[in-house]
Amino acid sequence: MYNKGLIIPGLIIFVLLVTFPLWFNAFSKASAVPKPDLPPGGEKECVAPLAVIRASHMALLNEWRDDVLRNNDRVAVTVAGKQYRKGLQTACMQCHSNKEKFCDSCHAYASVKPYCWDCHLTATDVAKKKETH
């Protein structure tokens, strides 16, 4: 092989450069899977099993929205003996009051930007208004 001394180191450098994102993320903290904070109130039970919530909480929210707004089905959901009104604000965020440490941790990781909180209020929003007035 001609120019062995140039080609082989060149190839090695090329492969290293191309795979840079892989090994960089493997050794850096950037890839740490987010660990959302559990409800501050210490609730252990959710409206559905963990796997279902993780995979399709957005579908559930859409269903609830249509039930409440369109189908006039406002039947409360009961979790661990406590009743919640269907809805992001009235059910989910009653326990998960820490949106910044719960919702945002995964959404930021997955780079999804749901517009729920353009309208729905978080505990922080409500507290902020109370401070200024």
Partner 1 sequence: MDKQRRKFLKIAGATALAGISAPVVVKLTSSPALASSEHGEVAEHGAATHGEANQAEGHGAEQAPQGVRLGMLIDMRRLYGRPDLLEKAKAACHKVHNVPDIGNTKSEIKWIWPAPFENVFPEHSSYHESKITKENNFLALCNHCNEPPCVRVCPTKATFRVEANGIVAMDFHRCIGCRFCMMGCPYGARSFNWKDPRPYIKEYNPDFPTRMRGVVEKCNFCGERLALGQEPACLEAVKEVGAIVFGDLNDPDSEIRQRLDEEHTIQRKPSLGTKPSVFYIV
User: Which of the stretches 4-12, 27-35, 64-72, 101-109 binds partner 1 when contact is defined by CB under 8 A?
Assistant: 64-72
According to the binding rule CB under 8 A, does residue 65 interact with partner 1? Answer: yes
From candidates 85, 106, 107, 109, binder to partner 1 by CB under 8 A: 85
DSSP type of residue 113: -
From candidates 72, 81, 112, 113, binder to partner 1 by CB under 8 A: 72
Cα distance between residue 25 and residue 31, in whole Å: 6
- Beta-carbon contacts of residue 87 (< 8 Å; ≥ 6 apart): 64, 65, 68
CB of 18 to partner 1, least distance (A): 43
Binding map of partner 1 across residues 31-60, x = CB under 8 A, - = no contact = ------------------------------
According to the binding rule CB under 8 A, does residue 82 interact with partner 1? Answer: no
- Using DSSP, how many helices (H) and how many strands (E) does the chain show? 7, 2
Number of residues written out for the chain? 133
Contact 34, 109 (CB under 8 A): yes
Measured over the CA atoms of residue 24, residue 25, residue 26 and residue 27, the dihedral's sign is positive
Residue ranges that bind partner 1, judged by CB under 8 A: 65, 69-72, 74, 85, 89-90, 115, 118-121, 123, 125-126, 129-130, 133
